[in-house]
């Protein structure tokens, strides 16, 4: 009698991209997330790339660059060219609250913030 090891099949996830649902395996999803830029650790990296005044709250997708604060994100929500990597992005992804708090701690509040 022979025994054959069966490797587990990766689970499938659905990712919404530009109005279309794309099925991705958990391995593909993990690879995609690992390819995105890491959370900035400097004031410059944590500051909105458009107004240069307040912390980043949104990242561009699919490049993953940390790009805009809430107010600036509303101006570029339909897509465009990323100010950091110069690739086209199709949507903005809001950062989780814990990441927003980390970035806000790097950018001191000033009275002139919008």
Number of domains present in the structure of the chain = 1
The answer to whether residue 73 sits within a structural domain is yes
Specify whether the CB–CB gap between 21 and 14 falls below 8 A: yes
Cα angle, residue 53 at apex, residues 49 and 58 outer, rounded to 5°: 45
| pLDDT top residue among 105 and 12 | 105
Which range marks the domain in which residue 96 is found?
47-106
Write out pLDDT tens, residues 80-107.
999 999 999 999 999 999 999 999 999 9
Cα-based distances in Å from 86 to 41, 67, 69: 21, 11, 18
Q: State the CB neighbour count (10 A cutoff) for residue 47.
A: 20
The answer to whether residue 22 sits within a structural domain is no
- Predicted pLDDT of residue 5: 39
The answer to whether residue 113 sits within a structural domain is no
The answer to whether residue 29 sits within a structural domain is no
The answer to whether residue 83 sits within a structural domain is yes
Domain holding 72: CATH number? Answer: 3.30.40.10
Per-residue pLDDT band for 33 (boundaries 50, 70, 90) equals: low
Residue tagged 């410059």 (tokens) = 44
C-alpha to C-alpha distance for 92 and 59, rounded to whole angstroms: 6
- Predicted pLDDT of residue 28: 52
DSSP 27-92: HHHHHHHHHSPPPP-SHHHHB-TTTSSSB--EEEETT--EEE-HHHHHHSTT-EE-TTT--EESEE
The answer to whether residue 80 sits within a structural domain is yes
């Amino acid at each position: 009698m022979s025994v054959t090891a069966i490797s587990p099949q990766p689970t499938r996830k659905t990712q919404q991209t530009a109005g279309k649902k794309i099925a991705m395996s958990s391995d593909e999803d993990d690879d995609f997330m690992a390819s995105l830029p890491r959370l900035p650790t400097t004031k410059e990296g944590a500051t909105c790339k458009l107004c240069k005044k307040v912390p980043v709250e949104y990242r561009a997708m699919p490049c993953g660059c940390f790009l805009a604060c809430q107010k600036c994100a509303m101006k570029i929500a339909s897509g465009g060219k990323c100010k950091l990597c110069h690739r086209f992005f199709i949507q903005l992804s809001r950062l989780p609250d814990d990441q927003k708090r980390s970035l806000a701690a790097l950018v001191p509040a000033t009275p002139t913030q919008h």
